[in-house]
Chains A and B, each alone.
Chain A
Amino acid sequence: MPPNWLELMPSAVRAILASLPESVAGTLEEIRIRENRPLEIGYGGRYGFVGPGGEVTGDHRSAYKPDREQCRALLERVTNHSLYAVEEELRRGYVTVAGGHRIGLAGRTAVEAGAVRHIRDVAGFNIRIARARVGCAAAVLPRLLDPAARTIKHTLIVSPPQHGKTTLLRDMARAISSGEWQHPQAAGWGGRKVGIVDERSEIAACERGVPTFDLGPRTDVLDACPKAEGIMMLIRSMSPEVVVVDEIGRSEDAYALREALHAGVRVLATAHASDLRDVFMRPVLSELAREGVFGAYVLLARSGDKVAHRVYSGREAEEELRRSGSRSGASPRDAPPEAERADAGHAGASGGWIRAAGPARPRPSIRSPAGAEAAGREGGYA
C-alpha cells in the first residue's frame, strides 16, 4: 500500500518518490520541496538529492527541480484545497495533514501591524513523515515510574528537532494508557487515564476528532487546541491522570503546567533543546526546571537510524548542570556526539544510561481503581 503522504504530491514528484529504492523509502523522514531548486530528502539520519529517475545522489546539480505549478498544486493538496480553513496554521508556518505528517512552509510572509498574518508565496515545503513506532517507549518508561503514586513522574523529553520526541511521546501515551509499564513492580497497576493536548495534530493525527494512531484504550485527545487552554480544559472536563503535551516553551504553557501539577495530574511534555544546559537556558523551561517541577528528564540522542535515550532524575539534572561549565552551542545532528567530542570520562554516562535515583520530591498519589491497597498504605482515602 503506498503511504498516504504520497497522495499529496503533485503527479511528477509522486512518480519520482514512488520509484525511490526500497531501503531509502523505508527510512524516509523528510521530503523538502523548494520551488525551482533541487528535490531533497532526509532518510535514516542522512540527506540526499533525488534525480528525475528516483535515484538518490549527493550532487544537487543532477537533482530534479519541482516547478512553480507543482508547488501550487502541492500547497492546494496539503491545505485540502481550502486555504481559508488553515489561516491560523499559515500564520504559524505549518499545517498538519491526515496521518499526522507535519508540513512546514516557507515563503514570503504578509505582515499586518507588525505580526505575521500569513505566508503569501509559499515556495518551500518540508514534509515531515510521522511514524508510529509501537514499543519504542518500552526502554524508557520503566525509569520514569513513581512507585509510591503508581504512575509516572513529571517528565520532560528533551532533544533537538527530528530526534523522535513526538514518536516517543506518542508511544509513551499508548503504553501508559494501556498499562504496559514494562516493570515487574508495576505489573498490577493497570492503565492510566491519559489526556493529550494535541495542538499541532501531530501526536494523535486526528481525523474528525478520532485519533488515527493507536494511543491506548484510556486516552482522550483535544485536537488542534492551544496547549495552555487545552490543559485546563482537559483537567476540568476529562479528569486525566496523566496529561501529555508537545513542545512547551511559552510562558502561558508554564502557567498551565503549574496549574496541572497542583491539580494532582502528572505531566508528560517535550521541549526543543539540545541538552540539559539548554533546558536551563531557555527562559520558560529554566523557570520550571529550577522550581524542580520535573521529576525526570529524558534526553534523546540520535546517530544514524538509532535513537539512544538517557534518563536523568530531577536532582541529577541539577547536579549535571552544575558540573558542566561552558556550553558549546547547538551542533548539527550528524556531528559526533557531545560525549565523544568533549568529556569522554563522563561519570555514568559512558554506559549510555544514568540510573534514575528515586523520585525528586514527594508528590501526592493518584487514586486508581486497582490501587486500593496503595491508598490504604498512604493513610487511606476513598
Chain B
Amino acid sequence: MLKLVGAALVLFAGTMLGFLQAARFAERPRQIRHLLHALQRMETEIGYGQTPLPDALERISALMPPPLAGLFAGTAARLRSGSGLTVRECWESSLQEGWPATAMRAGEKDALMRLGASLGGSGREDQLKHMRLAALQLQAEEAAAREDQERYEKLCRNLGVLGAALVVILMV
C-alpha cells in the first residue's frame, strides 16, 4: 500500500516537472512578443510623446502581464527614488532581480542590457535606433524560441511522465 502511494507521488511529481518545463518553453516566445510590444510602445513614448523616461516606463509596465511589468515598474521606481543612480544601474538591477521569474534566456537579457546602457542617454533619433536594434535582436531570439518550443515542448512533457515511470519501475 505504502509503495503504491509512493509510486503515485513520484509519477505525479515527474509529470508536473515535465509540464512545468514544457510551460517554460511555451511561455518564452510569448514573453518575447510582449517585450517587442513594449519596445514599440517605448518608441512612441520617446519618439513622439517625448515622455520622460520614468513616466514612459511606468506607462508601459501598466500594459504588461505580471513578470514583465515588474521589470519596467522596478526601473521606474528606482529612477524616481532620488537615489542618484543612473538609468543603466537601475535597469540592470531590476533585470537581475526580476529575470528569474520570467521564462526568458540569456540572449534576450543581453539585448535588454545593451538597450539599458543607452536608454535616455541620447537624442531622439539615436534612441529610436537603439530600440530598433534591440527589437531586431529580440525578433531573432523569438524565432529561435519558437523553434525550441516546437521541438522540446512535447518532449519535455513526455520525458517527465516517462522518467517518473522509469523511477517507479526501478523502485519496485
Question: Could you list which residues of chain A lie within 8 angstroms of chain B, going by C-beta atoms?
Answer: 7, 9-11, 14, 72-73, 76-77, 79-85, 87, 118
Contact = CB atoms under 8 A, between A and B. Distances in A.
Given A84-B46, A85-B50, A73 B123 contact: no
Contacts of A87: 123-124
Contacts of A11: 83-84
Contacts of B86: 72-73, 76
Contact of B51 (A14, A73, A85): A85
Secondary structure at chain B's binding surface: helix, strand, loop or mixed?
A: loop
A262 to B, nearest CB: 36
A87 B120 CA distance: 12
Secondary structure at chain A's binding surface: helix, strand, loop or mixed?
A: helix
B82 interface: yes
B84 A9 contact: yes
A81 B123 contact: no
Q: Which of A7, A80, A81 has the most CB of B within 10 A?
A: A81
Interface of B: 46, 50-54, 56, 79, 82-87, 119-124, 126-127
Contacts of B50: 82, 84-85
Given A72-B86, A81-B54, A81-B87, 4 more contacts: A80-B54, A81-B119, A81-B120, A84-B120
Smallest CB-CB A-B distances: 10 pairs: A81-B53, A84-B124, A81-B120, A85-B50, A80-B52, A82-B53, A82-B52, A11-B84, A7-B82, A81-B87
A80 B87 CA distance: 10
Contacts of B53: 80-82
Given A81-B53, A84-B50, A118 B123 contact: yes
Nearest to B50: A85
A72 B117 CA distance: 13
Contact of B84 (A10, A80, A82, A85): A10
Contacts of A72: 86
